[in-house]
């Protein structure tokens, strides 16, 4: 049983690293919001698109980035 838990932990760790790599290295802008619509994290591509560093985006609501005609 211990080997089973060790294997499961290893698989979870591998999947977590894989998802993190997809998020960080994706060529398109990728972001994560909290339930209130505030940026929690973003990748370098989004920084390039918005021309804001992640440190300026984190905690900001997404509304300022939506065209007024879509709000």
Q: What is the pLDDT of residues 19-47, one digit of tens each?
A: 899 999 999 999 999 999 999 999 999 99
Stated pTM of the model: 0.74
Question: How far apart are the C-alpha atoms of 45 and 54, rounded to whole Å?
Answer: 10
Location of structure tokens 């994706």: 26
3-state secondary structure of 41: strand
**Exposure string over 19-43, b if 16+ CB within 10 A, otherwise e:** eeeeeeeeeeebbeeeeeeebeebb
Confidence label for 7 from pLDDT (cuts 50, 70 and 90): low
Confidence of residue 61 (pLDDT cuts 50, 70, 90): very high
Structure token pair of residue 25: 């290295």
Check whether domain 2-70 has CATH 3.30.450.20, yes or no: yes
């Amino acid at each position: 049983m211990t080997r089973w838990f060790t294997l499961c932990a290893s698989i979870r760790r591998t999947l977590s690293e894989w998802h993190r790599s997809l998020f960080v290295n994706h060529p398109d802008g990728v972001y994560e919001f909290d339930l209130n619509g505030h940026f929690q994290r973003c990748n370098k591509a989004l920084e390039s698109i918005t021309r804001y560093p992640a440190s300026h985006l984190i905690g900001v609501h997404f509304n300022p980035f939506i065209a007024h005609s879509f709000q």
